[in-house]
Amino acid sequence: MDTMEAIRVRHSVRQYSGRPIPEDIRLELERIIEERNKEDGFSHVQMIYGDPTCFDSFIAHYGKFDGVQNYIALVARKQEGAMERLGYIGEELVLTAQKMGLNTCWVAGSFNRRACKAKLEPDQKLYAVIAIGYGMTRGKASKSKDFDAVSKTRRQEAADWYIRGVEAALLAPTAMNQQKFVFEQAKEKARLSTRLGFFTKLDKGIVRYHFEAASGHEVESQ
């Protein structure tokens, strides 16, 4: 499966079987994490395996999570740009996991933050987690906004690469499926801004990853 296929078939999955993640997949995810953490010098993303407690709370069950044993802890130093960067790294991991047959769900609200096993330095923060494992289902497609609702550039005036990018961004996960992002074509690049909402900075990094992967063109974050 390539990245485009992974973008198309990915849906949030909240119920997991107990099947452990094989060693080769773990190593590949950890390799990417190590590289990305090193690249920016402020991210401290971590994989946690075999820990049911992070999703073992009233709010997690209320949020319909079940059987979550593994998660990616999105930790970074508290600083400008940290959330967008974590969104970007996290979505690379989500799509990599999807390609290798795993399922995922981004979670910024409905998990037990205090029980989370991530290691934090005093100047770092746990921004969100991503549940990961073999899903009981593959999830289902969510309702999506139209192209023109998330693009200042009209479809008929846009380049093909830009249309591919926006369409891939429309398939990206966003907090509460809010899709509060706006793209605009600017010559050979795209500009991206977000409207007011919850966790929109994480969303911004996530949709930027989808856009760049699908279009091969750079996104300038505004």
- Where do contacts with ligand FMN occur on this chain (CB under 6 A)? 11-12, 63, 105-110, 128, 139, 142, 173-177, 199, 202-203, 206
Give the Cα separation of 131 and 165 in Å (integer): 26
Q: How far is the CB of 203 from ligand FMN (least distance, A)?
A: 6
Closest CA to 107 of 81, 133, 77: 133
Q: How far is the CB of 24 from ligand FMN (least distance, A)?
A: 26
- Chain residue at closest Cβ approach to ligand FMN: 173
The residue (of 166 and 206) whose beta carbon lies closer to ligand FMN is 206
Which stretches within the chain are classed as H helix?
3-9, 23-40, 58-62, 82-99, 147-150, 160-169, 200-215
The residue (of 137 and 154) whose beta carbon lies closer to ligand FMN is 137
Q: How far is the CB of 104 from ligand FMN (least distance, A)?
A: 9
125 bridge partner residues: 76
Q: How far is the CB of 188 from ligand FMN (least distance, A)?
A: 28
The residue (of 162 and 199) whose beta carbon lies closer to ligand FMN is 199
DSSP letters for 181-219: EEEEEETTEEEEEE-S-TTHHHHHHHHHHHHHHHH---E
Instruction: Name the residue with tokens 């990245």.
Output: 3
Q: How far is the CB of 12 from ligand FMN (least distance, A)?
A: 3
The residue (of 22 and 101) whose beta carbon lies closer to ligand FMN is 101
Give the Cα separation of 42 and 197 in Å (integer): 25
The residue (of 71 and 158) whose beta carbon lies closer to ligand FMN is 71
